[in-house]
Amino acid sequence: MDRELPAEDEGLWGRWPLSMCHTLLHRPGLGALAALGLVAVAAAIRVGMGDVAPAPLLPFYPAIVIATFLGGRFSGYVATFLAWYFFTDPIELFVLRDGAALAMVVYVPTTVIVLEVVHALCNSAMRLIQTTNRLQQEVSEQAQQRSKLLGVIDELQAIYNEAPVGLGLLDADLRFTRVNDCLAEMNGFAVEDHLGRSAWDLVPDLRASAEPILRKVVDEGEVVRGVEITGETAANPGVKRTWSEVFYPVHGPDGQRRGVGIFCVEITDLKHAREREVLLTREVDHRAKNLLAVVQSIVQMMKAQGAIAEFKEALLGRIAAISRTHSHLAENRWDGVSLRALIVDELSPYVVNPRFENGASQVVLRSGAGQALGMVVHELATNSSKYGALSNDGQIDLACVVEDAAGEVLVTWTEIGGPMVTPPERQGFGTRLIERSVHHGLGGKLDYQYRPEGVYCRITIPKTALV
């Protein structure tokens, strides 16, 4: 049974006369009418040829071929059956012409062969054209897929090249076959200079630490994470840099290991930050212990003289002085404290205008020296507010001067206009604390005098106490 092959709207199938092939194949009624019409046309031609010897091939075969072309076997055999007219007398339709019987013996098998050949050719043409159109459609679809694939490849290539991390690919001999811009910049060589060369050809410092790990990845197929490698590169010669890397095996289509993939992030700054964090943690721990030791020493040195409230007030004042100094140190990450900021902060409750000369306002004290000087200024101001110039309408002349020759800083405290001063019979805690802070905390010199017009204190801060 014949099978219908749908026509295509495009390509060869949509062109005349191929567009007419087998159009009536599954319309037998129309196919029979077409055969009848074609035979009628052939009959008219036959009549027009006159009374000649039987020549059925001339008007008949075009009709039989066209009928088969349009409607397939059914239309072709209908036309073949109706063509009996060509073998009859033009006047007496049911009487065979002379020699017609012999002609029919030739005509019948020849007609069947021609009919079947035409039908087969039509089917083959339909299949061929349909296959051609399908191939053209597949080619078009493949072209679209290829275009999309190329777009995806371009995107992946852009992601690979522009990634803010180092990416690379080594073959089984640990030579670069691919590297992105970030890794090339880390190593200090162009991308082209990497290809075909090993990592240690470019960065010799990496061989001792990286080669055994890379060999292990190639031989055992293990992913190695969190590898820290330190060395120098051509990008920053003479500078030690640190990278965190991941090495992973890369397999080919056959499943065999073909090389090693590299994922690299530079962590030089992060490592320095971590080391600084550890250092600061230790520094804070050390400073906290020192602070507790200072407070403990102050408590032990103080004698509970007078009322408990006075003792409490004095103790809290000294601890507050330590706290203010620590605040300045914390603001500067314990790298030191400004001499000007320290003194101004300690004297903020009082009407004192310190003078900073010859660059003294730019002086920065080391952390230990800052704590000691803070305690000294606090004791001087506290004693003055109780017994000296700050207890009445007197004045304080505080001067800070940098000595050019030795690079030392001189801090001079001079009280004027206060009550008459007489040297105490015994040394008080405040004086002892000042002496201890200057000699041990600052490593400096102290000139402390009880002058009749007021206390005079001259402190020499050595260069070693400065940042």
Structural domains of the chain sorted by starting position, each given as residue range(s) with its CATH number in brackets: 12-139 (no CATH), 163-266 (3.30.450.20), 272-465 (3.30.565.10)
For 120, residues 6+ apart whose C-beta sits below 8 A from its C-beta are: none
pLDDT of residue 402: 92
Sheet with 241-251, edge to edge strand ranges? 176-179, 166-171, 257-266, 241-251, 224-231
Give the residue carrying structure tokens 């490592």.
271
What three-state secondary structure class fits 253? Answer: coil
Which candidate, 159, 217, 134, places its Cα nearest to that of 142? 134
pLDDT at 400: 93
What pLDDT score was predicted for residue 332?
A: 59
**CB contact at 8 A, 461 and 411:** yes
Q: Do 85 and 46 form a contact (C-beta atoms < 8 A)?
A: yes
> How many C-beta atoms surround the C-beta of residue 262 within 10 A?
26
CA-based nearest residue to 396, from 360, 355, 442, 450: 355
pLDDT at 9: 43
Cβ-contact 406, 437 below 8 angstroms: no
Bridge partners (DSSP) listed for residue 187: none
Q: In whole angstroms, what is the distance from residue 235 CA to residue 313 CA?
A: 61
Tens of each residue's pLDDT in the chain, 467 residues: 444 444 444 444 456 666 677 777 778 888 788 778 887 787 777 667 665 545 555 667 788 888 888 888 888 888 877 776 666 665 665 666 666 666 677 677 777 888 888 888 888 878 887 888 889 889 999 999 998 988 888 888 888 788 888 888 888 888 898 888 888 888 888 888 888 888 888 878 778 888 888 888 888 888 888 888 887 777 677 778 888 889 999 888 888 888 889 888 888 888 888 877 777 676 666 556 555 555 555 555 555 455 555 555 555 555 655 666 666 566 555 567 888 888 888 888 787 889 999 888 899 988 778 888 888 888 888 888 888 888 888 889 999 999 877 789 999 999 998 888 888 877 776 788 888 889 988 899 999 999 999 999 999 999 998 88
Indicate yes or no: pTM above 0.95.
no
Give me the residue label for tokens 């200072």: 294
Strand pairing of 257-266 and 166-171? antiparallel
Cα–Cα distances (Å) from 208 to 36, 230, 322, 443, in that order, read 96, 11, 51, 49
* SS3 state of residue 382: helix
Query: What whole-number distance in Å separates Cα of residue 54 and Cα of residue 135?
Result: 49
Sheet (strand 355-357) strand order: 355-357, 395-402, 409-416, 454-461, 445-451
On whether the CB atoms of residues 174 and 260 are closer than 8 A, the answer is yes
In whole angstroms, give the CA distance from residue 371 to residue 290: 10
pLDDT at 10: 44
Residue 415, pLDDT score: 92
Residue 144 to residue 152: CA distance in whole angstroms: 12
Q: Which two tokens stand for residue 218?
A: 């190639």
- Which residue in 8, 30, 18, 5 sits closest to 69, CA to CA? 18
Tell me what pLDDT residue 232 has.
76
Cα 162 to Cα 152, 185, 264, 350: the distances in Å are: 15, 12, 14, 62
Q: What are the angstrom distances between the C-alpha of 166 and each of 169, 191, 245, 404?
A: 10, 12, 9, 53
What CA–CA distances, in Å, run from 113 to 34, 107, 280, 396?
21, 10, 104, 136
Q: For position 320, what pLDDT does the model report? A: 59
DSSP 51-118: S-S--THHHHHHHHHHHHHHHHHHHHHHHHHHGGGGGB-SSSTTSBPTTHHHHHHHHHHHHHHHHHHH
pLDDT for res 411? 94
* Closest-CA residue to 300 (of 432, 389, 169): 432
d(CA 93, CA 66): 24
Angle at 461 between CA 458 and CA 467, to 5 degrees: 150
Helices (H), 250-338: 268-301, 308-331
